[in-house]
Structure 1
Amino acid sequence: MITTGLVIRLGIAQLISWGTAYYLIGNFGTRLAQQHGWSETVIYAGFSLSLLVMGAVSPLCGKLIDQHGGRKVMATGSIFHIGGCVTLAWGTSLGSYFVAWLLLGIAMRLTLYDAAFATLARIGGAAARRSMGQITLFGGLASTIFWPLGHYIDAQFGLTIALLSYAGFAFITLPLHLSLPRTTIKPNHDQPLSTPHTPAFRPLPDRQQVLCGALYAVIMSLINIINAAMSAHMIALLAGLGLIGAQAINIASLRGFGQLASRLADTLFGRNFNPAIVTISAALLLTLAFIVGFASGISLWAAAVFTVSFGAANGVLTITRGTLPLMIFDARHYGKRVGSLLLPGFILSALAPSLFAMAMTGLGANAVLGILCVLSLSTLIASGVLYAQITKKPPAP
């Protein structure tokens, strides 16, 4: 059974893990380059390495959670998280820098949403859907809290102390993860995922699982590419479209409000909707957001609608990343199946920031926005095909 206390503890752990691992580079990337005298290309290569490592360990992580539950796996992730931050703080060589990001890559795969979703699915089965949305509310505040907090600690005490403080925050997640159930509570796998307004869904036949799993992998890979590109270049994209300095920064910050609002709405009302329909709706909103983005250079209102809409779509798609597999696979095999299917997305997201940086330089902001439109439209089409397959009636015996 998934209790409120469990959701709160896991949610706080998500808040800390996202804020002090995934968003660390956004806060301290430039400072690390200044302290060590390295180029920012080298600095961000470390983060790309961590994303590749996340992909490499993804199948194993999912398999371990299926076999043992999330308690030991996520607690181990906390230890890697502490080690990565400490190595960043005290390491002085290029080798130690990349070792730190290797440790953080393992830590992120063992502690962030995908591990938490698999843990909840293992405990609650189809009933975990609402809990998945609830913990993303905590994670959505990570950059809002830890970017200014990290900046303050750095300004007051220096970069080394700031990174060690991040290790201290990571230590807090250790008892939170150890508080997860010692033994996995076996859900009722015969209970379908259903609501008063949607049909019931049971694990699909094997052949259908293969096709739907492939479509899920395509959708998540496209979303990962879009999210990685926008996380790295959103401010630069807005500036390239015509916004000036502080305007681009302030408008880009609205993304978080859209993200939080959509996740709250999904938590309150999402149980009444089929996750595949929610994915289609979010993909449509994502496509429309990029179309509106073309007017950002001539209207601040258009730029604001673009960023808020993008944030809202991305916020919901983060949740359906965890809930869609509950409509396809038996929850007992959730971790292994999803861990393998997410592998291409991790690899592509590691390449996306560099590729889009080259596109921004060589083709310009409007062309990049056009590429993002094509990727989001492809996501919409794949989502529609997935919905058709999931709701397809089984052949008559």
Structure 2
Amino acid sequence: MDELPVIVAGAGPVGLAAAAELLERGLEPVVLERGERAGAAVAEWHHVRLFSSWSELVDPAAARLLEPTGWTRPDAAAYPTGREWADAYLRPLAAALGDRVRFGAEVIGVARRGRDRIVDSGREGEPFSVHFRTAGGEERALAKAVIDASGTWPTPNPLGGEGLPAIGERAAADRISYRVPDLAAERARYAGKHVVVAGSGHSALTALTALAGLGDAGTRISWVLRRGGIGHTFGGGEADQLPARGALGLRAKEAVDAGLVTVVTGFRTEAIEHTGGSIALVSADGHRIEAVDEVIALTGFRPELSWLSEIRLELDPTLQAPVALAPLVDPNVHSCGTVYPHGAKELSHPEQNFYLAGMKSYGRAPTFLAQTGYEQVRSIAAALAGDHEAAARVELIMAETGVCGGAGLFDEAEPAAGGCCGAPEPELLTLSAPRAAGS
């Protein structure tokens, strides 16, 4: 199997970093990306600005691959938008990798060649069989290892408070968005309307601060929290070691204090009812939010695992993250600044040489930084190359930013939707009222 490539699912920041790390180790990567360009998911929030700076958003091996191409490294202290991250880094990186990146190729299944998940005999001696769909039909490729860096962006959590869509949620799909709005393109959808924002994480704070700028258009904003109070939702403010993240919390607090946002706590949506020309949200205890025009549900993301049904994964039953990683990313205990770097050991599964990396490795935990993903794939590449000492070594040191998290932050074990550090934020210039992470 030595002549076979390592297949990487996803040409986002972590998937492309994995390819660069593998190439530097003398391993041949093949990246399969269902979108038509690098950073396809990032492109969907092109209008928002990260609260990680460029110094934290470029993988070291990727930079070394890019430098001979004449690539200009962005200002390390600047904070890019999603569009800038893709244009100035992700797409040049994909171009430097050349035909190792295949676009329009959606991975739809992974197995061991000739073996389903229940067969033990000869299993580890067989390569992986990766099935993917292209415009021309279904194809299969063999690999000696697989890194799933496909992320969680396509699978947002529903509005319903049970982890399932609320009764009537699907029927009201035309009034519900699961993304931070791009008000430059969608102003008419929200201006002058009663808009409900659901969620307690930084994506929700981002949406609130953006919508608060529509106050002069008569927009009403209701902020729905499942937890019993606001608590530490606004974060650490000026004490936050990610300054842009702290500033976001402060702006959201200003909007609430100014009366631009009505806060509704302890509300778990059980049903959505159509009432004339609007909808009503009904909670599990019978409370109602009436005359709602639009809902922005920012309640986090979850991994899509169905196409890994023939792979022997060992996942935590609560978070759906690798069992060795789950205690390190439990949102009831950790913020992104107290999730310490980890690698191949914590990301391994009973299926040898198969790894989840990037945001998908965190399962339903929200606290993810791009730097953490880069450290993951550096370690995985070292392990696959047989350099187990380097795989076990921690090469990333991050300042603690625990002001946004820690024990007791998430009342009733409700993770902060969008992530402590992963949620994109609007460009400051777009706001007139009182900024994924990294991935």
TM superposition score normalised by structure 2: 0.24
Q: Which has the larger radius of gyration?
A: 2
Task: Kindly indicate whether structure 1 or structure 2 has the higher relative contact order, using CA contacts under 8 Å at least 6 residues apart.
Answer: 1
TM superposition score normalised by structure 1: 0.26
Structure with higher helix content: 1
